Amino acid sequence: QKEVEQDPGPLSVPEGAIVSLNCTYSNSAFQYFMWYRQYSRKGPELLMYTYSSGNKEDGRFTAQVDKSSKYISLFIRDSQPSDSATYLCAMNDYKLSFGAGTTVTVRA
């Protein structure tokens, strides 16, 4: 069983929809929780970073962490075609462990 589980999708939504992505994990040592966005043929870039349980909002993006359930989520409101990318959750103890990535397509 992988330390970090993420549904690889793909996920296709119409423009303006809410995109919901999530990951589960098994390692209680994970302390830092991140979401990276990777456009096609590019390197991943950090989108959101959280430390504690709860919500963190940044513009159209909201990250949620529930440490008791070992579950993290990313919501994208009012999705745009430019949000089409692969979204990878990542968690850190001494190294960064990534989920498999969910490929999202937002249709215009």
What residues line the site for another protein (CB under 8 A)? 8, 31-32, 38, 41-46, 49, 51, 86, 88, 92-98, 100-101, 103
- Nearer to another protein among residue 20 and residue 31 (C-beta): 31
- Nearer to another protein among residue 43 and residue 59 (C-beta): 43
CB of 78 to another protein, least distance (A): 25
Number of neighbours of residue 19 by Cβ within 10 angstroms: 19
Written as six digits, the tokens of 56 are: 């963190």
CB of 56 to another protein, least distance (A): 14
CB of 108 to another protein, least distance (A): 24
Instruction: Give per-residue burial for 3-16: e unless 16+ CB within 10 Å, then b.
Output: ebebeeeebebeee
- Nearer to another protein among residue 16 and residue 37 (C-beta): 37
- Return phi, psi of residue 83, to 5°: -80, -5
Give the count of alpha carbons within 13 A of 23, CB side only.
Answer: 31
Written as six digits, the tokens of 99 are: 């989920």
CB of 86 to another protein, least distance (A): 6
